[in-house]
Amino acid sequence: MGSRVTGTAAEKTASKYLSAQLKDLGLNPTIQNFTYTRKNTTYQSQNVIATKKGKSSKELIIGAHYDSVSVGKGADDNGSSIGVVLETLQALSKKKTPYTLKIIFFGSEEAGLQGSKYYVSQMTDAEKKNTVAMINLDSLIAGDNMYVYGDQGKQGKLRDLALEIAKKHKIPMSTNPGLNPDYPAGTTGDWSDHAPFKAVGIPYAYFEATNWEIGDLDGYTQTVKHGEIWHTENDNLTFLEKEFPGRVKEHLRGFTIVLTELIEKADKAF
């Protein structure tokens, strides 16, 4: 599809593709339109939302942004997560999950988390109370290591459950080791779509591939071999397959297995 720049017609085209994919999965997607203003220009964007009923009416939000920056093709950031979420929904299509799933493909993350901020701004207090957690996925196939993060303390149980599931399947997934005091072990920064949910007290789990042991130890330098991939020309599948043979497939598989089982067992974390 190529780049899907925030607030453009290409982003809108991607939203239509996602609606069609969700319909093929038997879901009934809706579009949540919103606008935001930057440097005196107002942009139109949209979230694509679907609900999949579970055993409980309590909701688990699964979210990933589908917009990209203009440089590169947004394969890692964040086509990778869109693929994992769609594949997971396929795996769960005939199953009843413990919680009702709210699937949200966010627009305009790259312009300052606009889609997720708007979604949270429209949630009622009752909806917030009815949400058990938010699972965010962002940039899964380029980084050296597979990670899952969560809140500090008791609210981080969903992360711990994800790590247990990964271990059982011998998938090499870990969490932020906490080498940088600004980002304590197990947690991460407020730079993706989990942040607006976290800000209103909703527990989160967040899947990402990067490398916390290099660069400024802030999770920004994704790879030893090529530094950061996101927001560069290198964020395209041809480059990733050539420079990191096997990684794309291994990560897509690993994250999909863990996410699928995490959703199926999520009630064990609460």
For binding to Zn ion (CB under 5 A), which residues are involved? 77-78, 138
Within 10 angstroms of residue 55's Cβ, the number of other Cβ atoms is 11
Instruction: Quote the least distance from Cβ 77 to Zn ion, whole Å.
Output: 4
CB of 78 to Zn ion, least distance (A): 4
Query: Which one of 109, 110, 208, 228 is the catalytic residue?
Result: 109
Query: Given the complex with Zn ion, which of 63 and 150 has the nearer CB atom?
Result: 63
Is there a contact between 231 and 72 (Cβ–Cβ < 8 Å)?
yes
- Write down the residue that tokens 């730079």 correspond to: 191
DSSP summary character for residue 67:
-
- Contact indicator for 233, 243 with CB cutoff of 8 Å: no
Q: Are 238 and 207 in contact (CB under 8 A)?
A: no
State the minimum distance, in angstroms, from the CB of residue 68 to Zn ion.
Answer: 8
Q: Which is nearer to Zn ion, 59 or 77 (CB)?
A: 77
| CB atoms inside a 10 Å sphere around CB 130 | 16
Among 67, 86, 26, 73, residue whose Cα is nearest residue 192: 67
Cβ at position 220, least distance to Zn ion in Å: 12
Comparing CB distances to Zn ion, the nearer of 155 and 192 is: 192
Active-site annotation holds for 109: yes
| Residue closer to Zn ion, measured from CB, 77 or 151 | 77
Q: So which residues are the catalytic ones? A: 109
